[in-house]
A = this chain, B = another copy of it.
Amino acid sequence: MSRSLTEQDLPDLARGAAVLGTGGGGDPYVGRLLVRQAIREHGPVTVLDPDELADDALVIPTAQMGAPTVVHEKLPCGTEPIAALRALEAHLGRRAGATMPIECGGINSMIPLVVAARTGLPVVDADGMGRAFPELQMETFGVYGVPGSPMAVAGERGETTIIDTGRDNKRMEWLARGITIRLGGVAHIAEYAMSGAEVRRTAVPRTLTLALTVGRTIRQARERGADPVAALAEALRDTLYGHLRVLFRGKISDVERRTEAGFARGRAAAVSFDGRHKLELVFQNEHLVALVDGEVRCVVPDLVCVLEADQAEPITTENLRYGQRVTVVGISTPDLMRTPEALAVFGPAAFGLPHDFRPVEELR
Contacts and interface: CB of A to CB of B under 8 A. Distances in A.
Interface of A: 87, 91, 157-166, 168, 171, 174-175, 177-179, 181-183
Contacts of A174: 182
Nearest to A159: B165
A172 to B, nearest CB: 8
Contacts of A162: 91, 161-162
Contact of A164 (B87, B178, B181): B87
Given A178-B179, A179-B175, A179-B178, A158 B163 contact: no
A301 to B, nearest CB: 26
Nearest to A149: B159
A302 B158 CA distance: 35
A164 B91 CA distance: 12
A166 B161 contact: no
5 closest A-B pairs (Cβ-Cβ)? A178-B182, A162-B162, A159-B165, A178-B178, A161-B163
Contacts of A181: 178
Contacts of A179: 161, 175, 178-179
A159 B171 contact: yes
Nearest to A162: B162
Contacts of A165: 157-159
A166 B175 contact: no
A87, A161, A166, A179 interface centre (most CB from chain B within 10 Å): A161
Nearest to A165: B159
Nearest to A158: B166
Contacts of A157: 165, 168, 171
Nearest to A171: B159
A150 to B, nearest CB: 9
B163 A175 contact: no
11 contacts: A87-B164, A91-B91, A157-B165, A158-B166, A159-B166, A161-B161, A161-B163, A161-B179, A162-B162, A175-B183, A177-B182
A147 B358 CA distance: 54
A165 B182 CA distance: 13
Contacts of A161: 161-164, 175, 179
Contacts of A182: 174-175, 177-178
Contacts of A166: 158-159
A286 to B, nearest CB: 23
Contacts of A168: 157, 159
Contacts of A178: 178-179, 181-182
Contacts of A175: 159, 161, 179, 182-183
Nearest to A175: B182
A166 B174 CA distance: 24
A181 B183 CA distance: 15
A191 B128 CA distance: 35
A164 B179 CA distance: 12
